Amino acid sequence: MRTAVCSGSFDPITLGHLDIISRAAACFEKVYVCVSPNAEKKNQMFTPEQKLLLVRKAVEHLPNVEAELYGGLLADYAAAREAVIVRGIRNGTDFDAEYQLALINRGIYPQLETMILPASAEYQHFSSSMAREMIRYHQPLEKYLPTSIIPLVRDMTEHKGE
């Protein structure tokens, strides 16, 4: 079975993320979405459990996709599933960072492959940071987030701090 892993902090999952996951799902028999709590990232809006819930809701229409929380090394997660790592890139800066990570992962597990998918043109400017700003300022989210998660996002952020 050909298996892929798409990973990220998904704070929150955007249409750009979903595009990469959907394209991977069309190429692989099984895709795991590895939701990684990234303590290094500042200004996170959602808890790891909320991120997982949002990702699961966003991918529920993809029968060969499953989302899980994982706090360890992505290389360990992918190797345990004998999976290819699929990463999306928006620009040259993303490519440089992903290329370096791919080399590091191959240093840990020589059999571990990374496939890089360029972002679709309509999502090249997307980022979770931008989506968080749209959420904070109560802007329409339909252009940025999967429609299925918008009510959850609004509910999670409106009741934050209560």
CA 15 – CA 122 distance, rounded (Å): 10
The active-site residue, picked from 2, 41, 125, 136, is 41
Q: For the beta carbon of residue 26, count every other beta carbon within 10 angstroms.
A: 10
Q: Report how far residue 109's alpha carbon sits from residue 103's, in angstroms, rounded to the nearest whole number.
A: 10
Asked about 17 being catalytic, the answer comes back as: yes
Q: What CA–CA distance (Å, rounded) separates 126 from 132?
A: 11
Catalytic annotation, pick one of 23, 56, 90, 106: 90
SS3 label, residue 117: strand
Catalytic option among 7, 51, 128, 132 = 128
Q: What are residue 143's phi and psi, to 5 degrees?
A: -80, -15
C-alpha 18/C-alpha 24 separation (Å) is 10
Distance between CA atoms of residues 23 and 42, nearest Å: 29
The one catalytic residue among 7, 9, 17, 36 = 17
Reading the block at residue 44, the tokens are: 């996170």
Whether 128 is catalytic: yes
Does 61 qualify as catalytic in the annotation? no
Annotated catalytic residues are: 17, 41, 90, 128
